[in-house]
Amino acid sequence: MAITGVYLYLAPTLPDAETLKDVDLQTPLRVYTADGLLITEYGEKRRTPITYQEIPPQFIDALLASEDDGFFEHSGIDLKGLARAVFDLVTTGRKKSGGSTITMQVAKNYYLSSEKTFTRKFTEILLALKIEKALTKEEILELYVNKIYLGKRAYGIEAASQVYYGKSITELNLAELAMIAGLPQAPSAANPIRSPERAVSRRNYVLARMYNLGKISEAEFQQSIRQPATARYHGATSEISAPYVAEMIRQEMIRRYGNKAYTSGYSVYTTINSARQRAANAALQKGLLKYDRDHGYRGTQTSYAVIPLNVPEAPELEEWIAQADPAKDVDWPQTLEAWEEKLRDLGDFGIIEPAVVMNATEEGAWVYSIGKIRWLPFAGMTWAAPYLSVNSVGNAPENALDVIRNGDLIWLEATPSELKLAQVPEAEGALVSMNPHNGAIEALVGGFSNSDNQFNRATQAERQPGSAFKPFIYSAALDNGFTTASLINDAPVVFKDASLESTWRPENYSGKFYGPTRLRQALYRSQNLVSIRILKQMGPATAVRYIQDFGFNPARLNKDLSLALGASAVTPLDMATGYSAFANGGYKVSPFVMQSIISDTGEVLYEANPTLAMAPPEEDATGNSVNEGTAHSNPTSEINAEQTDKVEAPTLYAERIMSPENHYLTVSMMRDVVRRGTGRKALALGRNDLAGKTGTTNDQKDAWFSGFNPDLVATVWIGFDQPTTLGRWASGGGTALPVWVDYMREALDGAPEEHFEQPEGIVTVRIDPDSGLLASPGQKDAIFEYFKAGSAPTEYARTKDIIPYQEDEGGSGGGSVIPEQLF
């Protein structure tokens, strides 16, 4: 009667078991590259649901042997086990023994709390019976393996397999499957990382049960119980390192969906190109490490006590431990385990990794990095002269003991040819690379390591770009009456301007003055005084109105003559966005990194629809867009391009912000920066389709290079987070440009050369290089220059040396020497 009463009381409150067919498992947010590689996942619970068909049959045998060997025969409850559990609960008030079937655990996990009371247990039983009627055994088992907690934030067997072994459940051997199957009983206390001995004992129990039930042979049993525990913690699986991009996506998803973003199984596909992202990671880290080594070794900040141990040549880790004499040496197994935990806690630093010095000698040192012992030769430390200041270093070391000691926490860089000592750079940097045709960010690195500092310098560091900003000034000048041959006097000048310092004496970076200089020369030589005089003639307000269309916030652009020297605060992303117009023919695109959002059921929740850098089909006869600017009626951000709810999104065309003529002339001058100016190191790429500009600010606090070809833009910035000098030898061309070259070498590998098409409104004229006027007929040093139609000089320069008239072999005359053409 009592049981009947309880049933009548509880039955109306029971949930509908049919709802389990549509259960929404909490799954993490996953972020992918454009080509489908996993960047990272976010969420309290690591879970990757799998279907029943994907579960290895041997795992099912192991799980049932461990948890419920009568699962496929009972109706949801195990009467004997249940009677024992109920007796314990009633007589002691505590649960001492099992009794729950897998179906009952499904009922508890999906509907009930872990409260240990008679009422909850009886509800669990009734629910189990309902579930057995509503679902098949296979459906119940699928729910169970995807829901159970298995330690280390892993929910479900696929997540546990990834956490403990770094691979899918379908790739595990029998011993590993049994290890996972043994976890549900005590997932935290008996997991193979925290308690390997207890976990192995539990695993062997599962294997024994499988053998006794006839699920495995004696040979399989004997082989599996002899296998050592190989589990170790594997963080969130990542196929490509792009932590700064991942954080940008996380913030945007939280803005859109709140905390639901972490649990609803969203998959976000970014615009990141995995090959280019890898190239960007490596290029920036290599560049910062080179700068750091050039400025000396700062020494180690952390040491661990260690007793030296003589080591044989090329030891394996097991050999090292086996030969250790406990009476003379440290407890190596315990020491190495402690070191490994500390080293892992340091995080991911890309191409360098932490290590501890085990035994240092004059010739080098045996060092321990995660999972291995390595020999670091003195040859890998010869660079490590002591750091004295940003401009000086001490004497070079004579042997390894001048640099490191036993127990030192050090950093290593492994190259194909050697192992070298390294250190985490104090100087920082950023690299942004974009597709100029639509604004898609294809690579973004916000610093040397996200593990060390989460500040995203690519999007958040507002720094002065220096001369890298000059192309915008020069383009504005071309739009306001100047030509590429306009002659500007490069001479000392003193300005008294109330908006600046009381007296301002700007200088060129080289400290030299060149006198009258053509506009083209001034840009590729990066002459400050010419840029200032150009801006003074135009007026800062005119320049700001023109430049803001490149995507710069006008409120952050200086309204005085310092604008000419790049003294306004911009981010690397701002610069890459602005340079995209130079690359794409003069169109304004907006940066974005989120391509699409996919729900856990495969529904497309969002698809980016960026503006395209091309003329819309309905152009009038003059080449001006009839609907120019329409694409920007709803501004976009670096996270999102324009979104539309229509199934077929309309094509959005970008606004043209440079005339075809202005664009061609500006780019031709920027190509000369690479061909003969401050960007000559880019010639190492052996391409003829590159253009860009270096930038170095006052006191060498910032080093920049922004450059492009018609299909790819990249901006590199290097500096200290707290602005201070990089040293008297630092410059955009020497510090930032090599990083850009390393990146573009990989990013453009295999890409054919592209060309900047010359528009119809451009004419080519022979001019005198000194005056910028028309060259005299037959002038020896005449050069070709480009002009907008109607803006070429009409006056001839004073007569210089004339090339004598020569008849060709056919007697037709002509045949003057063709002067060098600049472009």
Are residues 572 and 430 in contact, defined by beta-carbon separation less than 8 angstroms? yes
Are residues 148 and 184 in contact, defined by beta-carbon separation less than 8 angstroms? yes
Nearest to 250 by CA among 41, 464, 503: 41
Among positive and negative, which fits the CA dihedral 398, 399, 400, 401?
negative
Are residues 431 and 743 in contact, defined by beta-carbon separation less than 8 angstroms? yes
What b/e sequence results for 469-493 when a residue is b if at least 16 CB atoms lie within 10 Å of its CB, and e otherwise?
bbbbbbbbbbbeebbbbbbbebeee
CA gap 653, 65 in Å, rounded = 63
Tokens of 500: 């600046």
Q: Give me the catalytic one of 41, 67, 252, 428.
A: 67
Question: What are phi and psi for residue 698, nearest 5 degrees?
Answer: -55, 140
Question: What are phi and psi for residue 611, nearest 5 degrees?
Answer: -70, 145
CA gap 201, 223 in Å, rounded = 15
CA gap 341, 354 in Å, rounded = 12
Nearest to 610 by CA among 583, 577, 579: 577
What b/e sequence results for 60-73 when a residue is b if at least 16 CB atoms lie within 10 Å of its CB, and e otherwise?
bbbbbbbbbbebee
Q: Is 692 helix (H, G, I), strand (E, B) or coil?
A: strand
Q: Residue 715: which H helix or E strand, with range?
A: strand 712-719
| Burial of 535 per CB tally in 10 Å (0-12, 13-18, 19+) | buried
Tokens of 604: 């497309």
**Residue 467 annotated to the active site:** yes
One-letter identity of residue 530: V
CA gap 212, 92 in Å, rounded = 33
| Helix residue ranges, H only, 295-394 | 317-323, 332-345
One-letter identity of residue 54: E
Q: Give me the catalytic one of 100, 161, 467, 475.
A: 467
Are residues 682 and 707 in contact, defined by beta-carbon separation less than 8 angstroms? yes
Are residues 673 and 692 in contact, defined by beta-carbon separation less than 8 angstroms? yes
Q: How many CB atoms lie within 10 A of CB 757?
A: 11
Are residues 412 and 289 in contact, defined by beta-carbon separation less than 8 angstroms? no
**Could you report how far apart the first and last alpha carbons of the chain are, in Å?**
99
DSSP state of 355: E
Q: Are strands 587-588 and 655-656 parallel, antiparallel or unpaired?
A: antiparallel
Q: How many CB atoms lie within 10 A of CB 626?
A: 10
Strand partners, 512: none
Tokens of 401: 């003991």
Longest Cα–Cα distance of the chain, Å, equals 128
Q: How many CB atoms lie within 10 A of CB 2?
A: 6
Q: How many CB atoms lie within 10 A of CB 78?
A: 23
**Residue 303 annotated to the active site:** no
CA gap 98, 82 in Å, rounded = 7
Are residues 119 and 89 in contact, defined by beta-carbon separation less than 8 angstroms? no
Residue 602: partners with Cβ closer than 8 Å, 6 or more residues away: none
Active site members:
67, 467
